């Protein structure tokens, strides 16, 4: 499966500034592994060592929020990475 | 000798270097703008090497390494991370890397990191790949030793390696206490006798204390100094009972604060920066009149050093990593950074102070590099 991942600005240091990158995989976990192979270190900034999405990160497959990394991804899907900050 | 102060802030890392005439300081940076930088530490075994602990508000924590004195940085291939939890176990994840300490001189490339939640990690490749120190992180007593955290979480800090023995380690945890290992981290024991824990139902507990900062003297490694939530202490090993040397501080000042730093060669000399620990713990300079206090007799007496510092209405807060010396005996330079973004330099061991940088973000650490 081939999809597109929308990279938010805090993570573009890993993608040489690219905001949209191609990735492979039939699940969110596989897409993240594909991203990690291309952009070493990027997965751990989003996913902790217990394979949980970090507290202030949200992932979406198209418009559906990801609640488990096993969630399916189909060819042509867009995986969105959202980061939340507050205050100063 | 080239010299630099590395300033870790809530919004990036900065450096201060003496200007060409040697009278002022030149600020450069920021590097990692927007990143929360808890610690920047030089490797004394390879002075070109620096490690930097970073995270952002939303992204996970990591460590960066420079091998060219901070000009360029490379991210750790495997940042500190707890092992995967088994079913039914507490699933811990590193929220931030809070503290970095180079390993023993004979263990080139070895580093230790302290994290929140309280975890100890070790790298043997210069900070590229980090492994949990299972002897502490999975110690059967750890849940009791580290019962709860501060509002900023549990903090493992003040990692010290005995310069005579790479197997002999000390760590400190807020809240938890001071712990010692004599087998390279395979096993640990509390080392808190004599320290008050006024906030506990039983103030004489063996652990559960709140050490804010512990410093081992590099030239006299049997001597440790501690700035605790409940006072200033000294310990001379092999004794196990800390002595409250903060009792000699002026009563109206008290002996609460965050950092404590030791003289590079004289084990009798140390500096603290008292904070207001009364009522709801404002943690600002006492009565708005900041002062550093220095002992030159191992804590029997303390001398107020405030020449050049604001004399009123200055409500500074200085965090535990935000004070250091330049290591240059006999006229040691002492430096501290405030949460209000000022860096102050105390010449001649803190005899006179001047502000050498202001308008920086909230300062978390000030460290010296040669």
A85:B62 CB<8 A: no
Closest residue in chain B to residue A36, using alpha carbons only: B77
- Taking an 8 Å cut-off on Cβ atoms, the answer to whether A48 and B60 are in contact is yes
**Could A45 and B62 be called an inter-chain contact, meaning their C-beta atoms sit closer than 8 Å?**
yes
pLDDT at B294: 98
How large is the ipTM? 0.90
pLDDT on residue B14: 98
The verdict on a CB contact (< 8 Å) between A45 and B60 is yes
Q: B209-252, pLDDT tens digit by residue?
A: 999 999 999 999 999 999 999 999 999 999 999 999 999 999 99
Handedness of CA B347, B350, B351, B354 (dihedral sign): positive
Whether chain A has a CB inside 8 Å of the CB on B5: the answer is: no
Chain A residues touching B84 at Cβ < 8 A: 49-51
Binning pLDDT at 50, 70 and 90, where does residue B280 land?
confident
| Residue contact B81–A10, C-beta within 8 A | no
What are B39's two structure tokens? 């610690």
> Which of B60, B76, B81 lies at the smallest CB-CB distance from A46?
B60
A2-83 CATH, one of 3.40.50.1220, 3.10.20.30, 3.20.20.150, 3.20.20.10: 3.10.20.30
* Beta bridge partner(s), residue B337: B343
Beta-carbon contacts of B159 under 8 Å, excluding residues fewer than 6 positions away, are: B99, B101, B112, B113, B114, B120, B169, B170, B171
Handedness of CA B309, B313, B314, B315 (dihedral sign): positive
Which of A40, A51, A84 comes nearest B77 by C-beta? A40
What average pLDDT does range B274-298 have in this prediction?
95
User: CA-CA distance, B233 to B161, in Å (whole number)?
Assistant: 19
Question: How far away is chain A from the Cα of B19, in angstroms, using its nearest Cα?
Answer: 32
Higher-confidence residue: B331 or B353?
A: B353
Mean pLDDT of B112-136: 98
Residue B151, pLDDT score:
81
Of A11, A41, A54, the CB nearest to B75: A41
Tokens of B216: 């081992």
Interface test with B, best of A12, A13, A41, A86 (most B CBs within 10 A): A41
SS3 at position A46: helix
Does the pLDDT value for residue B199 go beyond 60? Answer: yes
Cβ distance of B59 and A47 shorter than 8 Å: no
CA distance A7 to B47: 36
Q: Residue A86: pLDDT above 90?
A: no
* B316: its two tokens: 């500074």
Do B60 and A44 lie within an 8 Å CB cutoff? yes
**pTM of the predicted protein model:** 0.95
pLDDT grade for B204, boundaries at 50, 70 and 90: confident
Residues of A with CB under 8 A from a CB of B: 10-11, 40-41, 44-52, 54, 56-57, 83-86
pLDDT digits (tens, 9 = 90+) for B126-157: 999 999 999 999 999 999 999 888 888 899 99
The answer to whether the CB atoms of A45 and B82 lie below 8 A apart is no
Q: Cβ–Cβ of B79/A44 closer than 8 Å?
A: yes
Residue-range domain boundaries for chain A = 2-83
Can you tell me the distance from the alpha carbon of B75 to that of B51, in angstroms, rounded to the nearest whole number?
A: 10
Least confident piece of the model among A59-68, B105-114, B143-152:
B143-152
Produce one character per residue of B126-146: b if its CB has 16 or more CB atoms within 10 Å, e if not.
Answer: bbbebebbebbbebeebeebb
Percent residues over pLDDT 90 in chain A: 93
Q: Which of the residues A49, A54, A58 would you substitute to probe the B interface, choosing the one with the greatest number of B C-beta atoms within 10 Å?
A: A49
Tell me the average pLDDT of chain B: 96
Predicted confidence band of residue B2 (pLDDT cuts 50, 70, 90): low
| Partner residue facing A83 (CB), from B58, B75, B81 | B58
Q: Which residues of B touch A41 (CB under 8 A)?
A: 62, 75-77, 79
pLDDT band at B347 (very low <50, low <70, confident <90, very high): very high
| B95: closest CA of chain A, how far (Å) | 9
Distance CA B350, CA B332 (A): 8
Measured between CA atoms, how close is B12 to chain A, in angstroms?
A: 13
Under an 8 A CB cutoff, do B94 and A44 touch?
no
pLDDT in tens, B316-346: 999 999 999 999 988 899 999 999 999 999 9
Looking at the complex, report in whole angstroms how far the Cα of residue B23 sits from the nearest Cα belonging to chain A: 34
Strands (E), A1-88: 2-6, 20-24, 57-61, 64-65, 78-83
Instruction: Check CB contact under 8 Å for B91 and A56.
Output: no
* Region for residue B52 given its phi and psi (left: phi exceeds 0; alpha: psi -120 to 50; beta: otherwise): beta
Q: Using the beta-carbon criterion (under 8 Å), do B60 and A11 form an inter-chain contact?
A: no
Identify the pLDDT of residue B20: 85
**B177-186: pLDDT as tens digits:** 999 999 999 9
């Amino acid at each position: 499966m081939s999809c597109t991942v929308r990279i938010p600005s805090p993570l573009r240091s890993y993608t040489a500034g690219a905001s949209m990158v191609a990735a492979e995989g039939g699940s969110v976990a596989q897409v993240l592994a594909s991203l990690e192979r291309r952009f070493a270190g990027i997965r751990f900034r989003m996913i902790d060592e217990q394979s949980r999405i970090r507290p202030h990160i949200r992932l979406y497959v198209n418009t559906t929020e990801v609640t488990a990394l096993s969630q399916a991804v189909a060819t042509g899907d867009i995986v969105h990475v959202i980061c939340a900050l507050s205050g100063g | 000798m080239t010299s630099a102060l590395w300033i870790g802030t809530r919004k990036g890392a900065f450096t201060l270097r003496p200007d060409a005439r040697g009278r002022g300081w030149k600020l450069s940076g920021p590097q990692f703008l927007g990143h929360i930088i808890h610690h920047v530490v030089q490797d004394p075994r390879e002075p070109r090497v620096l490690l930097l602990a970073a995270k952002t508000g939303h992204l996970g924590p990591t460590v960066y390494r420079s091998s060219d004195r901070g000009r360029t940085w490379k991210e750790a291939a495997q940042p500190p991370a707890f092992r995967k939890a088994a079913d039914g176990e507490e699933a811990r994840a590193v929220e931030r890397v809070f503290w970095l300490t180079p390993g023993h001189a004979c263990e080139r490339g070895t580093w230790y990191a302290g994290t929140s939640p309280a975890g100890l990690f070790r790298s043997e490749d210069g900070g590229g790949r980090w492994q949990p120190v299972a002897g502490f992180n999975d110690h059967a007593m750890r849940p009791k030793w580290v019962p709860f955290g501060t509002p900023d979480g549990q903090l493992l800090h003040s990692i010290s390696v005995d310069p005579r023995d790479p197997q002999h380690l000390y760590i400190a945890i807020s809240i938890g206490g001071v712990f010692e290992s004599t087998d390279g981290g395979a096993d640990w024991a509390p080392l808190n006798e004599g320290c008050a824990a006024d906030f506990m139902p039983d103030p004489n507990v063996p652990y559960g204390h709140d050490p804010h900062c512990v410093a081992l003297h590099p030239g006299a490694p049997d001597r440790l100094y501690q700035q605790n939530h409940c006072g200033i202490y000294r310990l001379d090993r092999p004794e196990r009972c800390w002595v409250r040397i903060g009792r000699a501080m002026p009563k109206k000042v008290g002996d609460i604060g965050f950092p404590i730093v030791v003289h590079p060669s004289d084990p009798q000399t140390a500096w603290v920066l008292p904070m207001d620990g009364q009522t709801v713990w404002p943690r600002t300079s006492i009565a708005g009149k900041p002062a550093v206090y220095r002992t030159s007799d191992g804590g029997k007496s303390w001398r107020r050093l405030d020449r050049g510092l604001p004399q009123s209405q200055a409500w500074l807060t200085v965090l535990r990593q935000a004070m250091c010396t330049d290591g240059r005996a006999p006229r040691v330079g002492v430096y501290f950074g405030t949460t209000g973004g000022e860096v102050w330099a105390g010449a001649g061991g803190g005899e006179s102070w001047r502000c050498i940088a202001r308008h920086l973000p909230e300062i978390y650490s000030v460290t010296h590099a040669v």
